[in-house]
Amino acid sequence: MYSLLATLILAWACAQTTPAEKPATPAASASIESYRAHMAAAMLSYQSREPAEARRWLNGAPREHRGWEWSHLDILLDQSTVVADTLTDGVLSIALQPNGPLVAAALSNGGIILWDRNTLSKKAELPGHPGGTFCVRFSPDGERLASGGVDRIARIWDVAAGRALLEFKEHGFPVTAVAFSNDGSRVFSSAYFTDKSTPIEGRVHLWDAKTGKVERTYKGGVKPLSSLALSPDGSRIAAGSWDSCVFVWDVKSGGEPQKLGGKPGPLQNVHVNAIAFSPDGAMLAAGSDAKWAKVYKLTGGAMIAELRDHNADVNTVCFSRDGATLATGGDDGAVRLWNTSDWSAKATLCGHALAVRALAWDAAANRLYSAGLDKSLRRWDPDYPAYGGLHTRFGQNNYSAKFSPDGNRLACSSSDGTIGWVDANSGKEMARWDTDHGREVCTSTISPDGKSIASCSWDKTIRIFDLDTHELTAKLDAPDGVALIAWHPDGKHIAAALRDKTAVLMDVANRKIAQTFTGHERGVTSVGFNADGSRLVTASGDATVRTWNTSTGECLAVMKGHTGPIESAVYLPDGRRIVSGSHDGSVRLWDARSGALLRELLASDDTIYRVAASSDGRRIAAGGKHLYTFDPDVSGPMLRSKPIEETIWHLDWSPDGKRLAIAGWSGSIVVYSSTR
């Protein structure tokens, strides 16, 4: 059953279909509209921070229509590096073996599974706790495992032998959390206590790990204690409470605890589900069922951050070894990474289909492990730069992001007069230099052989640089300001869209105009070649698209129908069709030979600045305030999304058609992929 929110999303998605977007074949209508509705609901759920809900919608999309956008969303919703999904029940807690290969998982059905942390293959199983195992923690030497559960018992296990060494039965209620002391000689365990004369009282027992003898009891609040954390130096023990706060005791002296947080109001108790100390012991993070994680400074107890990106209960929190990142996991199925320097969101890790209940950070390998109620255990690379798509920047205002022929670089151009490139895989800026255009660079693009990069500007020049040395190798003078350029497939010519209502074909070696294309009534905004370079398509502010013979300069077809300036028009790979996008909010598909309109792909109130076709011709992308993807054989978008806040100015598919580069006015670049 879908949630009420999901049902509303589906109704919204269906309402987005306008008459202009309906498919031509009635028999296919229901299936296509179902696909669109599922994709829209999946995207909206993803953007609403409901990845588990998004996964359900995505999985329900009809298979026969799945294309690039489906594969792209599939990746966004699962970017884990390794997955173990053969567990018999949901996972409530995990722990990594110090200096060893194991990860322990506590299951809601009571079992404890030991997995190889590298391969996530099952190694052993412990009986655990009947009714449910709530918590597991390894001893510092990794040879023992402490656990607690519904049966009100805390146990210590010999990991190698797979047998219980000791049972601690002093808690009268379920044991919610356990933790070894730093030397491994003692164990902390938490629960609560009550009898006829005593109200509910949160308690932490400290007991000898060999004898089970209680050494000290720490008391806090009038609600159960749900989580435990020992400070890195072992001097303080903290417990999260259902009493809306975190208690922190001095391990040696005990006594009255320091209290972090407090009751939000009458009848509004918050359950603090998880806590974690920062590696330096200066901060403590807490996650709650009030949809927040809070971070406190231990000295003074002040709250220094409140993190609310989760749309549901926050069940687990975990700091990285260097303390630079905090990970949180919630009932929304997401793992979120936060920069501890300014508490900004770093990444959202999607993959779990149900609540995330446990996190653990492998300090040595800098890997993050997560587990949850979907019966899966996942591993993540927190340094992977493309969670949620690769995000990077170039320049003050970046006007282009054009893939190199090998797909490894993005040619960029900035309003500050510089060009360069960024690594299309890592997002790292690799080079940037001044073009001497004297003003903004309208676009840049890498030659077919990958050795040169060309730039253009309103200064009436096209400049060509050696990609490795950045040396200027040619300067081509144009009759007027150049809005956009495109390399001819032969690498010896460049087409230029000019402000003076013409387009020209420039001979690079001889630095002269080889052909002029005259006929537009306003400035030319874009140029593009067909696959063999025998044809050129141009778009103009006069609301027409024209095709030309590049050898003779003859105008072959004029395409009319847009009611506003056209910023972009390109050939599809088959050379038989052309797609264009206009200020009038429409995206149109034309017959390249006759100029006849084949179909209107989009009718909207968005200003379309750029269109692009994938190398296999199966998908078209268009950008304005939103990103649209189309199947050229079907009217209406397959998906509408908003990858960047600012207007999309440039789009380009990678040569293999698996990635889409999106550039915005303010310099942001996003690279979306459809392959892992």
List, for residues 245-275, the tens digit of each pLDDT value: 999 999 999 999 999 997 655 556 789 999 9
Give dist(CA 329, CA 672) in Å, integer: 24
Same domain for 60 and 8?
A: yes
Who has greater pLDDT, 269 or 513?
513
The per-residue pLDDT of the chain, averaged, comes to: 92
Which long-range CB contacts under 8 A does 165-168 form with residues at least 24 apart? 166/209, 166/210, 166/211, 166/212, 167/212, 168/205, 168/207, 168/212
pLDDT of 26 reads 56
Burial of 266 from C-beta contacts in 10 A (0-12 / 13-18 / 19+): exposed
pLDDT of 265 reads 52
Q: Is residue 230 part of a domain?
A: no
Same domain for 507 and 603?
A: yes
DSSP string, 36-85: HHHHHHHHHHHHTT-HHHHHHHHHHS-GGG--HHHHHHHHHT---SEEE-
Give dist(CA 194, CA 337) in Å, integer: 38
Total domains in the fold of the chain: 3
- The phi, psi pair for 36, rounded to 5°, reads -60, -45
Percentage of the chain lying above the pLDDT 90 cut? 82
User: What's the distance, CA 313 to chain centroid?
Assistant: 21
Answer yes or no: is pLDDT of 4 > 70. Answer: no
Cα separations in angstroms, 360 against 96, 326, 380, 414: 7, 11, 11, 42
Give dist(CA 263, CA 301) in Å, integer: 15
* pTM for the structure as a whole: 0.83
pLDDT band at 324, cuts 50/70/90?
Answer: very high
Give dist(CA 521, CA 537) in Å, integer: 15
Same domain for 466 and 339?
A: no
The pLDDT of 556-570, averaged and rounded, is 98
pLDDT tens per residue across span 371-420: 999 999 999 998 888 888 899 999 778 889 999 999 999 999 998 999 99
- The phi, psi pair for 304, rounded to 5°, reads -110, -10
- Token readout for 659 is 């990635």
The pLDDT of 203-228, averaged and rounded, is 93
Give dist(CA 331, CA 372) in Å, integer: 9
The pLDDT of 2-8, averaged and rounded, is 48
Which amino acid belongs to residue 388? Answer: G
Answer yes or no: is pLDDT of 79 > 50. Answer: yes
- Token readout for 444 is 């840049």
CATH number for the domain spanning 572: value is 2.130.10.10
Answer yes or no: is pLDDT of 321 > 80. Answer: yes
DSSP string, 165-212: EEEE---SS---EEEE-TTSSEEEEEEEEEETTEEEEEEEEEEETTT-
Same domain for 367 and 405?
A: no
The pLDDT of 358-365, averaged and rounded, is 91
The pLDDT of 651-661, averaged and rounded, is 97
Same domain for 497 and 364?
A: no
Q: Whole domain around residue 338: which residue ranges? A: 271-383
Same domain for 436 and 471?
A: yes
pLDDT of 12 reads 44
pLDDT of 8 reads 46
The DSSP letter of residue 20 is G
The domain boundary residue, chosen from 42, 66, 90: 66
Burial of 20 from C-beta contacts in 10 A (0-12 / 13-18 / 19+): middle
Q: Is residue 634 part of a domain?
A: yes
pLDDT of 18 reads 40
pLDDT band at 608, cuts 50/70/90?
Answer: very high
Q: Is residue 652 part of a domain?
A: yes
The pLDDT of 189-208, averaged and rounded, is 86
Same domain for 362 and 471?
A: no
pLDDT tens per residue across span 6-50: 554 454 444 444 433 444 455 568 999 999 999 999 999 998 888
Looking at the DSSP bridge assignments, the partners of residue 126 are: 112
pLDDT of 22 reads 42
Cα R_g (the chain), whole angstroms: 30
Looking at the DSSP bridge assignments, the partners of residue 433 are: 419
Same domain for 529 and 623?
A: yes
